[in-house]
């Protein structure tokens, strides 16, 4: 089945869950969500869980926080 993660198309087997889609699209996105540095929403902006089932055409967006789980700002390496 075809789903979309952050506007990228992903092909998954029927019965796949959100975690599967993130893992295929970009494992770093999955790690960010698992670490608390982000969360996943559906096509209308509702938060969804990693074990929620997907349907053909599902739209997922991973929202990353500028702050990590600790509450500290991530460094971008810029000196300004």
Give 63's Cβ-side CA count (13 Å radius): 10
pLDDT computed for residue 66 by the predictor: 72
- Cα–Cα distance, 58 to 4 (Å, whole number): 6
pLDDT at 67: 62
Q: Is the model's pTM score more than 0.75?
A: yes
What architecture is domain 2-64?
Roll (3.10)
Determine the Cα angle at 12 with ends 68 and 27, to 5°.
25
Residue 60's pLDDT is: 98
Structure tokens at 73: 């700002």
Tens of pLDDT, residue by residue, the chain (80 residues)? 999 999 899 999 999 999 999 999 999 999 999 999 999 999 999 999 999 999 999 999 999 987 655 554 443 444 44
Please tell me the predicted confidence (pLDDT) of residue 6: 95
- Count other Cβ atoms within 10 Å, centred on residue 29: 19
CA angle 34, 2, 45 (to 5 degrees): 50
């Amino acid at each position: 089945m075809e789903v979309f993660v952050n506007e990228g198309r992903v092909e998954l087997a029927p019965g796949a869950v959100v975690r599967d889609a993130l893992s295929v699209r970009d494992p770093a996105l999955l790690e960010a969500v698992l670490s608390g540095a982000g969360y996943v929403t559906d096509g209308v902006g509702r938060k969804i869980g990693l074990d929620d089932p997907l349907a053909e055409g599902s739209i997922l967006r991973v929202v990353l926080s500028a702050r990590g789980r600790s509450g500290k700002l991530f460094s971008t390496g810029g000196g300004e």
